[in-house]
Structure 1
């Protein structure tokens, strides 16, 4: 799994302009089982995405397609981790094979 930390590198007005496209992008990847959770940081200086296990190259390609990345309004820091404990009832997709 991955924790993706986004940091806004543009004024919030530009973030807000890109937000509808970013939310549509998130919806697509939630529906595909690629993203597990997402939301803004508090204070609102970026966001967080928790992504399911996949090859790192695939995640990088997904992030490059984010409207925030395409419009140059956010930077990304990715941390991979191995989930050894999950909350009861958390329905996660099965890991992909590389």
Structure 2
């Protein structure tokens, strides 16, 4: 599982110009089962996405296609973690530690 932390590198007005395309991109990845939660940070200086994928390289490829990235208005920090404990509703995402 991955935490994708977005940090805006441009004024929010420039971010807002890309927002509609960014939301459409999010919708596609939710439909594909890659993203399971996302939202703005508070204060609004970026956002957070929780994602699932087979490997980090795939997540890096996905982040590179974000309209925010393409427009140069944000940077990504990607953290991989093993979700060994989850809320009951997220049981499908629970993982086992490697042997």
Residue pair 1:8, 1:46 contacting (<8 A) in 2 also:
yes
* TM-score after normalising by structure 1: 0.90
Which protein has greater RCO, CA pairs closer than 8 Å, 6+ apart? 1
2:42 is matched with 42
- Pair 1:26-2:14 in alignment: no
How many angstroms does 1:93 deviate by?
A: 6.0
* TM-score after normalising by structure 2: 0.90
Distance in 1, Cα, partners of 2:85 & 2:94? 15
Partner deviation per Cα, 1:63-88 (whole Å, 9 max, x = no partner): 10000000000000011000011111
Deviating 4+ runs (over 6 angstroms): none
If each structure's helix is expressed as a fraction of its own residues, which one has the higher value? 2
Residue pair 2:64, 2:70 contacting (<8 A) in 1 also:
yes
Q: 5+ unaligned residues in a row in structure 1: which ranges?
A: none
How many angstroms does 1:91 deviate by?
A: 6.0
RMSD: 1.6
Partner deviation per Cα, 1:26-69 (whole Å, 9 max, x = no partner): 00000100011100000000000001132111111111000000
2:9 is matched with 9
The alignment covers a number of residue pairs equal to: 95
Q: 5+ unaligned residues in a row in structure 2: which ranges?
A: none
Residue pair 1:33, 1:93 contacting (<8 A) in 2 also:
no
1:61 is matched with 61
